[in-house]
Amino acid sequence: MQLPPYVKSGDLVSISAPTRWVDPEDIQNFVSFLEQEGLQTMTGSIFTRHHQFAGEDKDRLDDLQQMLDHPDIRAIFCARGGYGIIRLLSKIDLKGFAEHPKWVIGFSDITALHAFLQMRIGVASIHAAMPYTLRDVTDADDSAVSSLFGILKGELPTYTVPANPLNRKGKGSGILLGGNLSVLYSLTGTLFQFPTRGAILFLEDVDEYLYHIDRMMQNLKLAGMLENLAGLVVGGLTDMHDNEVPFGMDAAEIIRSAVEEFDFPVCFDFPAGHVEGNMAMVLGRQVSMEVNQDGSQLDYID
């Protein structure tokens, strides 16, 4: 996949809100991080509100489209997740973006935008913390902040993860794809369901019932998204819920059970998703992974 140009001091970046509404104070902390990096910031018209959303669909689309088209913007930070980007996908025009590719950053609901960019024109993007999720973080050395700005500068990290008893040992390499399980589940059968043959798939989720985690994993399996993976990386499985009659497994065990018949390596507890210290990851980039008795390691391949 194509990599947008990396970001340097003095470049113009923007913050867009294509999903839920945000208050101005929700992004001020992040704007200060941008200023510390010497970046110029454009916020567009993101401080409107229409029910749950940051404005009506047309307004959010116009704001995002302007930033995608802008020849001088080097990165677009999505202000927050929640819900709403899927309402815009069919109307986004990528002609200007293809001429001036830039990094699109976000996670959770923004998983759908990542998949859209990968399937439409094959451009890599960044799964990372967003201004809203960093609203209470004041330390620029926080791993979510430092990993994000490091990647934007082209400093690609090596990720090391402690061992987990549910891990499956092995080695694999392929394009890193994925994001929020619920969003990927919602994209199955659409134009934006990406092919996973030979890929390293990343999954995370938040605030879901355990039975529904199982339903979504079974759906991915039936859609053929699991059987030919080169590896599976599982991030945060945060604030899960059970019914009065217990499901009988926790979220990690459900995911492990869904891939039991396959032989690719599996890593749990990867520090990304709805977790503190949400590590940035380049989706669409070739990576290698190794899982052994000591833990897991993920590296980018040049």
CB atoms near residue 267 (< 10 Å): 29
Whether this prediction's pTM lies above 0.85 is answered by yes
Cα-flanking dihedrals φ and ψ of residue 184, to 5°? -60, -40
pLDDT tens readout for residues 284-295: 999 999 999 999
Of 121, 152, 183, the domain-final residue: 152
CB atoms near residue 149 (< 10 Å): 18
Judge whether 129 and 265 are in contact, CB under 8 Å: no
User: Do 169 and 138 lie in a common domain?
Assistant: no
Judge whether 209 and 242 are in contact, CB under 8 Å: yes
User: Do 262 and 143 lie in a common domain?
Assistant: no
**Which DSSP string corresponds to 176-223?**
EEEEEHHHHHHHTTSTT----TT-EEEEEEES-BHHHHHHHHHHHHHT
Residues 6 or more apart in contact with residue 212 via CB below 8 angstroms: none
* Domain hosting residue 244, numbered range: 159-300
206 is a domain residue: yes
C-alpha separations of 135 from 26, 35, 82, 146, 150 in Å: 5, 15, 15, 15, 19
User: Do 196 and 272 lie in a common domain?
Assistant: yes
CB atoms near residue 72 (< 10 Å): 12
Say which CATH number the domain at 171 has. 3.50.30.60
pLDDT tens readout for residues 244-274: 999 999 999 999 999 999 999 999 999 999 9
Residue 164 has pLDDT above 90, yes or no: yes
User: Do 30 and 135 lie in a common domain?
Assistant: yes
